[in-house]
Amino acid sequence: MIDYDGCFSSAARTMQASAIRKMGGLGGRVPDLISFAPGFPAPELFAWEEFRDVAQSVLSGSDPSVLQYGSTRGYRPLVEALAQILSERGIAATPEEILVTTGSQQALDLTARVFIDPGSVVLVELPTYTGGITAFNNAQATLVGVGQDSDGIDLEDLDRVTVRERAAGRRIAFLYVVPNFQNPTGVLMSLEKRQRLLEWAARRSVLIIEDDPYGALYFDDVAAAADTRPIKADDRDGRVVYLSSFSKTVAPGFRVAWVAAPAAITAKLEVAKQAADLCTGGLDQRIVYEVWKRGVLTARLPKLRSHYQEQRTVMTRALRRELGNLVSWPEPKGGFFLWAAFPERVNTDALLTRALARAVVYVAGSAFYVDGRSSNLARLAFSAPSAARIEEGVRRLAAAVREELDVSTSSVLAAPGAPGRPASP
């Protein structure tokens, strides 16, 4: 028997699997499981008919380049369309500053490859997106967390951490942020904070990776398009690398996303992408491009927004009804996620066993923290299950929380003075 451990590089030996992907694997094993774990779009919102029409015309055989290798940069008409999409978001980017990627996840991986040396510091929000954590960890970065307020990253903590890390002689590769409806908290960074963050980055000479897959999915009862203005839109000195994706607005199965960055950075990312996959699938790019060109995407956005807004309302009402003030959350103003805080003595890692026994699953808060903490927090994705499944899933989850509280209350009562679990900031 070969000991394959010895075959792996030291980087491979320390690679971590995505906690969310692990949860996704449970689906087949637990009958009738209701999953609030993955941030999947609602499948009934996919534009099946339009995709079919577009695919048929793209695959007519009249253009042999459709199934040929394509340029690493991306399908040129799509790159030009992206320049227009970006300009509608306030970002002026030329085709030389744009790179199509195979999902934003690839953009995170390429970013890691071109900016991180082993041991470089990557500054991340506490909590932050697990896909960012895995990509940066795989490049052997040291991830350092920065606190968040209700309107986004805590700028004082950010400065404190930056000064501390540099004083210790560590190189800061970049700061990674998700300003629009953050994954996992749903928090929307205020416009004022975005401005101050840019000023801070210029003062401290730090690159910002801005990841924005959810910006178009604001809920118009509490937010407007203007509230989601990308940081990149006001980046005058080329300090921001902007990532976005068609995964949440068209469909993640196409794996089409993009980066907009200063030309010198885009060129370097392109070289890294050559080694990763030569090019993003040409068929996927053409379908997404045609879907955009025919106006399907623009016409559907209001429907997507109102659908997810309604899903959010169903989840928040169900949580309030089932758990009263045993649960709280920052109001999601868009996106797919609700960041639930249960009473401090509920540890959401431990609660998972009870939740699974009741056929409901979520992602425990610990998956999103780079400081290893366990907590009373959980990410509940309201995007994919139907309204009826959300209601039923919340009922199951509430029963699990109650059961956990009964047990922990009796154990606390049995051991007077026993400390509760640490609160999360």
Binding residues for ligand PLP (CB under 6 A): 39, 103-105, 129, 131, 178, 183, 211, 213, 245, 247, 252, 257
- To the nearest whole angstrom, how small is the minimum distance from the Cβ of residue 119 to ligand PLP? 24
Nearer to ligand PLP, 212 or 290 (CB): 212
CB of residue 65 to ligand PLP, shortest distance in Å: 24
CB 66 within 8 A of CB 286: yes
Rank residues 106 and 266 by Cβ distance to ligand PLP and give the closer one.
106
- CA angle in degrees (0–180, nearest 5) for 306-331-223: 50
Please state, in angstroms and rounded to a whole number, the distance separating the CA atoms of residues 202 and 238: 10
Q: Which are the contacts of 417, defined by CB distance < 8 A and separation ≥ 6?
A: none
User: Which lies closer to ligand PLP via its Cβ, residue 223 or residue 318?
Assistant: 223
Q: Which is nearer to ligand PLP, 176 or 342 (by Cβ)?
A: 176
CB of 40 to ligand PLP, least distance (A): 8
Identify whether the C-beta of residue 348 lies closer than 8 Å to the C-beta of residue 366. Answer: yes
Task: Work out how close the CB of 152 gets to ligand PLP at its nearest, in angstroms, rounded to a whole number.
Answer: 14
Using CA atoms, how far apart are residues 255 and 383, in angstroms rounded to an integer?
Answer: 18
**For residue 221, how many other CB atoms are within 10 A of its CB?**
10
Residue for token pair 């922990």:
408
CB of 85 to ligand PLP, least distance (A): 14
With respect to ligand PLP, which residue has the nearer C-beta, 106 or 316?
106
Largest CA distance in the chain: 78
Among all residues, whose Cβ is closest to ligand PLP? Answer: 103
Quick check: helix, strand or coil at residue 132?
A: helix
Q: Is 240 exposed, middle or buried (0-12, 13-18, 19+ CB in 10 A)?
A: buried
To ligand PLP, the closest distance from the beta carbon of 18 in angstroms equals 10
Q: Judged by CB, which is closer to ligand PLP: 247, or 311?
A: 247
Give dist(CA 288, CA 282) in Å, integer.
Answer: 10
